[in-house]
Structure 1
C-alpha cells in the first residue's frame, strides 16, 4: 500500500466547544473557532490553554522528600536494541538512508498522503516492556505534567516558539531510543534528535487537530506502547477554513510512524478522544484490516515522540514565550 500523512500529537478536540484547530506557528498560535470562521490570533499562553482545553499543568515537585526518593529509586536499564524494520530500509549507510528516506522507505507507506511511513511491529515486545518500565519508574514520577486531556514527560529541554531552552541531557532510556532510530537511518547525523515528548493517553483522551510548527525540524518519529489508537490526518481548505478528514491510521502497540516534509508542515493530525477506536467511520483507515471487530476498546497508551529542535539563541531578556506542549 501507499500511505503518506503526518504523525505527532497536541490536545483533544473534546471539551473545547467550537475550537477546531491549533497550529503552532510561533509566539502566537492560530485558533480556528468553528467551520468557516476566520482564525483568531491568541498569545501562546492562551493558546496552550485552548489546546489543553482549559488545562492546568502541574509543576514539578522538587521537595527534599521527592528528590531523596529520586536519588534512591532504581531506574530500569534499557539495553541497546534495534528496530524491526524491513531490510530494504537498512541496506545503506545511516546518512544515506536518512537523506534518501522517502525513496528507500516507500514499502512502509500505507495510503495516499506523501511522506508518512508506518512499521506495525518496530519494537520487540521485550524492548517495549522495559521502555514502559523506565518511563513509569518512580525516579521519573516528578517529570509528569498533568494536562486535562493527557499527561506528559518532556525530556531534553523546554520547547518555546523560538526554539529549545533549558537544554538538558537525555536520560539513558531516551538515548537508547535515539540510537536505534539513528541506526535505522530515520534521522541524518546532523539532525540527531535532542528532544522526547512522552504522552500518556487514557480511554477517552486525545489531542485536537494541529500542526507542530517551525520550532522543530520537519521530521518526527513516534513509537507507541500499550493500547492501539487512531491517528487522523486532515487538510484545511484555505478559502473556507473547513477541516476535511483525509485518512486515518491505526497505531498499534510497538509501532513506529515517521512523517516529514509536506506531511509535517501542511497536514493536521489528531488522536481522537474516544473510548473505542472505530476505524473507517469518519474517513478511510488505511490499515483497518488490523482490527478483527468494528470497535477496538482503548486502554492506556504511551506515545514517544522523538524530534530534533533547534537550540534557541541566547537572549538578554529574562522573559520567554510559554512552553509548547506538542
Structure 2
C-alpha cells in the first residue's frame, strides 16, 4: 500500500497534535472573497450536474471515479486554481489533484461513518465553504468481537472542527484505519474530544449553529483509458 507523502515543512505547524499522525488543519486557507466566488460557481452549475443523495447532494468534477480508476475530464477553470494550490503543497506525492467532489450539507444533514477506500489513497483534502461542521472519526466494527455491542458511541474516537475557508489534509493512519462521518444535527456543542479545538478557535462548551455547508473534496484519482475500463483491465 502506498505510503503518505512527506508534507512540506511549512505545513508542519498545522499538524493536529492531539490526533493520530498526518492530520493537518489550515485555518483561513482561502479568503472571504474566494469563498464567495467559489460558492457562486457551485450554484451556477447546471441542475443536471447535481446528484441528490440521502442527507446531501453533490457534484462530480474531473470525471466519474470507478473502482479501476477514472476517465479523466478537464476541470473547470474556477476549480483549477485551488487544485493547483493544494498540489503545490505536494500533498499527493508529486502527483496533481485531478478530481473534486462538491458536497452540499444543509443543517441537520450529514453522512454515516464510512471510509473513502483505496482509490483515493493516500491523501484526501477538503476546503469548507459557507459554514462549519464537525467531522467525527470512529474505529471500524471489530468482527472478532461479535458478542460485544459496538455502537457508534462506543467506537467514537475524536472530532475535527472544520471552520469555513479552512483546509483539512488527511493521510496515513487517519485515512486508512478510521471511519469518518458527519452527524445530522443543527447545532454542535464543542467538547474536549475536538482534537483541533485551539487551532480552530473553539472553546469547550461552545455551541455553534450550522448553516448550509459546501465542501470541496480535492484528491488525485488514478486515470484509466476507456478501452481498459470497457475490457475490465487494470
1:140 to 46, 51, 54: 46
2:193 maps to what in 1? 284
- The 5 Å alignment of 1:58-77 reads none
1:155 maps to what in 2? 61
1:299 maps to what in 2? 211
**What TM-score results when the alignment is normalised by the length of structure 2?**
0.84
- The 5 Å alignment of 1:7-26 reads none
* Alpha-carbon contact 2:111-2:182 (below 8 Å) kept: yes
Pairwise CA distance, 1:207: 0.9
Relative to structure 1, the CA distance from residue 102 to residue 267 in structure 2 (aligned partners, 3 Å threshold; closer, same or farther) is farther
2:223 maps to what in 1? 311
Relative to structure 1, the CA distance from residue 286 to residue 143 in structure 2 (aligned partners, 3 Å threshold; closer, same or farther) is same
Q: Given the alignment of the two structures, is residue 208 of structure 1 paired with residue 117 of structure 2, yes or no?
A: no
Pairwise CA distance, 1:237: 5.3
Question: Radius of gyration: which is bigger?
Answer: 1
1:250 to 156, 161, 173: 161
* Alpha-carbon contact 1:118-1:257 (below 8 Å) kept: yes
The C-alpha deviation readout for 1:32-65, integer Å capped at 9, x for no partner, is xxxxxxxxxxxxxxxxxxxxxxxxxxxxxxxxxx
1:185 to 90, 102, 105: 90
Unmatched 5+ residue regions in structure 1? 1-97, 320-326
* Alpha-carbon contact 1:228-1:250 (below 8 Å) kept: yes
1:273 maps to what in 2? 184
The C-alpha deviation readout for 1:265-311, integer Å capped at 9, x for no partner, is 1111111111111222xx71123453466321111000000011112
| RMSD of aligned Cα (Å) | 2.4
**What TM-score results when the alignment is normalised by the length of structure 1?**
0.61
The C-alpha deviation readout for 1:210-244, integer Å capped at 9, x for no partner, is 11111223111100001111001121253327351
* Alpha-carbon contact 2:112-2:182 (below 8 Å) kept: yes
The whole-number CA distance in structure 1 between the counterparts of 2:10 and 2:164 is 24
Q: Give the secondary structure class of the aligned counterpart of 2:174.
A: helix
Relative to structure 1, the CA distance from residue 184 to residue 315 in structure 2 (aligned partners, 3 Å threshold; closer, same or farther) is closer
2:7 maps to what in 1? 101
The C-alpha deviation readout for 1:92-126, integer Å capped at 9, x for no partner, is xxxxxx94217663321222311110012111111
* Number of residues of Structure 1 aligned to a counterpart in Structure 2: 218
1:261 to 160, 172, 175: 172
* Alpha-carbon contact 2:6-2:93 (below 8 Å) kept: no
The whole-number CA distance in structure 2 between the counterparts of 1:236 and 1:217 is 18
* Alpha-carbon contact 2:122-2:175 (below 8 Å) kept: yes
